[in-house]
Chains A and B, each alone.
Chain A
Amino acid sequence: MPSVSGLVNVVLMVLMWMGGCQASPLRAVCDPRVLERFIREARDTEAAMRSCGGSCAVTSVYTVPLTNVDFTDWEQKDIEGQVAEVQVGLSLLVQALVAVRKTVSVSPISSLLDSNIINIQSLIHIIHSLSSQAQPLTYLEQSAQTHTHSPSELLHAQTNFLRGKVKLLLSAACRTLGS
């Protein structure tokens, strides 16, 4: 599983490095199976951490993005706002995942976390290509984040963020690309 995910990420990165059309890396992720695999792997890590209990990682305060989606509000946002919100959220997630990864020594969870980190980084690069404006990654929308105190909640936030906002944004972008 991790090897396939890594291969997909490498392919995405190669496509991005090749430059050219900004939609090239997006085309790869527009295959619904790609994001589905990211979501499944996030769920696998969440389930592994839950079964491990609290002994697998150090409890700490992690800043995570808000995952709730009100479709009415979401549709009222423009694409730039959606992109910015997703970019910030992915940045927060990858930082938190890296911090948890440093405290985990158990082999299955560590490898799963590695896959999750790679997946998030791939998505950051892909979504960055959707924005016409250069958004600094350090930009944070205060209302779009929260704090969590356990690795399990962090991983839960990752799953929900990918299922929600990331998928909505990419679905809309891919629909626009296809049309």
Chain B
Amino acid sequence: MTSDRGSVLMICALFLAAVACRGHTFDKKVAQLLREEPENIKCFAERMRDLTCFWEEGESRNSSLHQYTFTYTYQYRNENSSACEVFEMPMLAARGRRLFYSRLPRIEFFAQLHLCVFRGGRELYNRSLFIDQVFLLDPPANVTVVKTGQRGQLNVTWLPPALKYMDDSMMYEVRYAMEGNPMRKETVKATTKLTLRGLQSSSKYKVFVRVKPDGITYNGYWSAWSDPAFGTTPPSDLDPVIVVLVLVIILIFFLLILFVLVYHRKSLLKKLWPDIPSPEHKFPGLFSVYKGDFQEWLGHSNSSTRPIHAFTEELPSPLEVLSETSLAAPLPNHLSPPRPATTPRATGLLREDSDTTEQGEEPLQSRDMDAGLLDRWKEPPHTHWLMEQLRALQKHPQALSQSSLLESQDTYVTLNQNSQHAKEEGRQEDDILEESLPLQALFASGDTSLSAASHSDLGSLQQSSGSGRLSSQSSFEYPNHTWPPKGPGYTYMAVADSGVSMDYSPMSSSMGKGVVYANEYILGHRRPLSGQQVHS
């Protein structure tokens, strides 16, 4: 018994010497368990051959080291426990505490172990444990980080603990991070390599690894972190396949746009660069034949192409109201009462008298006029006399000024339908008198109004008709003018458009010769109207 006890003590001493030589690693493990293990007898197995147990005491206790006894016994053995020598570690001296430890020389796994600490013969601490459940291994060695050849990946490898029978019972935790970034962790079991994925390119990573038994057969505490290992991820490079695909897609897109542009170039050009409207089609041959010489075009154009005569700008034409009785044939439409001379700026197109007279009834039509509003204008029989009158008026424009009010530049010919049926004799003079009134007396802004005579487009035509009042187009230029109402007996029909407008007034029989006026609007309200007196 004494020899056995002595041999055990010697073995304990030898192991303690080995422990002393280990130094730093052992101190670190002890420090770790001091933080993690709540039991006061704290034990850990580093390898398969030994178990280290320690406990701490307060400084207040001035106990001698030899007062402490550490005993152990396995449950399955129905025998007395064995004792092991106790040693003291100075590591807690700065904190005012004492640390004692002991080491079992020979251990058995998978069997319950009872431990006791006695001080002065009195039990201080005790604990029962399985040695295979308190492993505290050394951190993995030779941690290596290498590139895998793929973007954003690194391969980490390490050596397992050199423990027999435990190589398939280990689990590892890998911690890695870029400089200044938070740590990421991954856990693996029964393997000593790990591929880190999802890493940033061209970045340096620091990797740590620690080990612990997996808890199935063996268990224990997480080891300390290994020394850091560094690895740099490869730079990101574009996959050539991706580059080619992107280029192909861009090329296809470009060709598609080009095709759309070429196929729809006309409509696109129309929308982006619309053609400026040209009145060329309204004046056939004006630009192609006469090179834009309007006078020449007027002179050479025939009645079929131009339904109305054109005024020269320099010759304002007066207008006179033709008396109804002076006309041989009743005319549904009559020209307006006389008007003052228009300004030289006024231009207009008049219906050609001679041609229309010879043709007899001929509809007052132009391309710009709505035939629905105009009745057939019957040519008076005295067309030649009319032409002469017109020419005379052109030579003596002063005679045309009869009303200052017609400085409004607009001339209207009022059409009195009722006067056609009225008996001429009784009303001829009245008509003459009325017709001799300034035009503003004949015109009245009423219910009917001209509209759209201000259209600059020659092709547009706006008409207003009705019995009642006629509002002068001149209101566009002289909006303050108010035309006195003509009278209930007058029916006004005003046709105004950009090219032609014809206002007809009842013909005055007292005049003997009816005067047919035709006033034309050209190019909207900005153009003053001019009328040409046509005597029938």
Is A167 in contact with B217, judged by CB distance below 8 angstroms? Answer: yes
Q: Does B110 sit within 8 A of A, measured CB to CB?
A: yes
Q: Assess A67 versus B168: contact at CB under 8 Å? Given A39-B217, A146-B76.
A: no
Shortest CB distance B134–A (Å): 14
Shortest CB distance B15–A (Å): 15
Is A171 in contact with B110, judged by CB distance below 8 angstroms? Answer: no
Q: Does A78 sit within 8 A of B, measured CB to CB?
A: no
Q: Does A108 sit within 8 A of B, measured CB to CB?
A: no
Is A68 in contact with B76, judged by CB distance below 8 angstroms? Answer: yes
Q: Of A69, A146, A171, which is within 8 A of B108 by CB?
A: A69
Most buried by A among B108, B110, B168: B110
Q: Does B49 sit within 8 A of A, measured CB to CB?
A: yes
Cα–Cα, bound, A71→B168 (Å): 17
Is B217 in contact with A163, judged by CB distance below 8 angstroms? Answer: yes
Using Cβ atoms and an 8 Å threshold, which residues of chain A touch B217? Answer: 39, 163, 167
Q: Does B111 sit within 8 A of A, measured CB to CB?
A: yes
Using Cβ atoms and an 8 Å threshold, which residues of chain A touch B216? Answer: 36, 39-40, 163
Q: Which residue of B lies closest to A75 (CB)?
A: B164
Shortest CB distance B233–A (Å): 34
Q: Does A62 sit within 8 A of B, measured CB to CB?
A: no
Using Cβ atoms and an 8 Å threshold, which residues of chain A touch B76? Answer: 66-68, 146
Q: Does B165 sit within 8 A of A, measured CB to CB?
A: yes
Q: Does A32 sit within 8 A of B, measured CB to CB?
A: yes
Flag A42-69 by CB within 8 Å of B: 1 or 0 each.
0000000000000000000000001111
Flag B214-245 by CB within 8 Å of A: 1 or 0 each.
00110000000000000000000000000000
Cα–Cα, bound, A151→B261 (Å): 90
Q: Does A164 sit within 8 A of B, measured CB to CB?
A: yes
Is B106 in contact with A70, judged by CB distance below 8 angstroms? Answer: yes
Q: Assess A68 versus B168: contact at CB under 8 Å? Given A36-B216, A39-B217.
A: no
Q: Does B132 sit within 8 A of A, measured CB to CB?
A: yes
Q: Of B106, B107, B132, B165, which is within 8 A of A171 by CB?
A: B165
Q: Assess A69 versus B110: contact at CB under 8 Å? Given A167-B217, A168-B165, A171-B165.
A: yes
Using Cβ atoms and an 8 Å threshold, which residues of chain B touch A71? Answer: 48-49, 109, 164-165
Q: Which residue of B lies closest to A67 (CB)?
A: B110
Q: Does B190 sit within 8 A of A, measured CB to CB?
A: yes
Q: Which residue of B lies closest to A161 (CB)?
A: B110
Q: Does A165 sit within 8 A of B, measured CB to CB?
A: yes
Q: Which residue of B lies closest to A159 (CB)?
A: B110
Is B110 in contact with A68, judged by CB distance below 8 angstroms? Answer: yes
Cα–Cα, bound, A156→B407 (Å): 128
Flag B168-179 by CB within 8 Å of A: 1 or 0 each.
100000000000
Is A163 in contact with B48, judged by CB distance below 8 angstroms? Answer: no
Q: Does B74 sit within 8 A of A, measured CB to CB?
A: yes
Q: Of A40, A68, A167, A168, which is within 8 A of B111 by CB?
A: A68
Cα–Cα, bound, A165→B76 (Å): 15
Cα–Cα, bound, A39→B130 (Å): 16
Q: Which residue of B lies closest to A32 (CB)?
A: B168
Using Cβ atoms and an 8 Å threshold, which residues of chain B touch A69? Answer: 108-111
Q: Which residues of B170-224 are within 8 A (CB) of A?
A: 190, 216-217
Shortest CB distance B339–A (Å): 115
Q: Which residue of A lies closest to B166 (CB)?
A: A171
Shortest CB distance A171–B (Å): 6
Is A164 in contact with B109, judged by CB distance below 8 angstroms? Answer: yes
Is B74 in contact with A68, judged by CB distance below 8 angstroms? Answer: yes
Flag B110-153 by CB within 8 Å of A: 1 or 0 each.
11000000000000000000101000000000000000000000
Is B108 in contact with A160, judged by CB distance below 8 angstroms? Answer: no
Cα–Cα, bound, A179→B164 (Å): 17
Is B108 in contact with A163, judged by CB distance below 8 angstroms? Answer: no
Flag A21-40 by CB within 8 Å of B: 1 or 0 each.
00000000000100010011
Cα–Cα, bound, A72→B165 (Å): 13
Shortest CB distance A25–B (Å): 20
Using Cβ atoms and an 8 Å threshold, which residues of chain B touch A164? Answer: 109-110, 132
Shortest CB distance B467–A (Å): 107
Flag B24-66 by CB within 8 Å of A: 1 or 0 each.
0000000000000000000000001100000000000000000
Using Cβ atoms and an 8 Å threshold, which residues of chain B touch A32? Answer: 168, 190
Is A165 in contact with B108, judged by CB distance below 8 angstroms? Answer: no
Shortest CB distance B33–A (Å): 23
Using Cβ atoms and an 8 Å threshold, which residues of chain B touch A40? Answer: 216
Shortest CB distance A42–B (Å): 11
Q: Of A66, A161, A165, A171, which is within 8 A of B168 by CB?
A: A171
Is B111 in contact with A67, judged by CB distance below 8 angstroms? Answer: yes
Q: Of B109, B164, B165, B190, which is within 8 A of A68 by CB?
A: B109
Shortest CB distance B211–A (Å): 17
Q: Which residues of A148-179 are within 8 A (CB) of B?
A: 160-161, 163-165, 167-168, 171
Additional A-B contacts beyond A68-B108, A163-B132 (4; CB < 8 A): A40-B216, A67-B110, A68-B110, A163-B217
Instruction: Give chain B's interface residues, CB within 8 Å of chain A.
Output: 48-49, 74, 76, 106-111, 130, 132, 164-165, 168, 190, 216-217
A–B pairs, 19, beta carbons within 8 Å: A39-B216, A39-B217, A66-B76, A68-B109, A68-B110, A68-B111, A69-B108, A70-B106, A70-B108, A71-B109, A71-B164, A146-B76, A160-B111, A160-B130, A161-B110, A163-B217, A164-B109, A164-B110, A164-B132
Enumerate the 7 nearest inter-chain pairs by beta-carbon distance, A residue then B residue, closest first: A164-B110, A68-B111, A68-B108, A160-B110, A67-B110, A69-B109, A70-B108
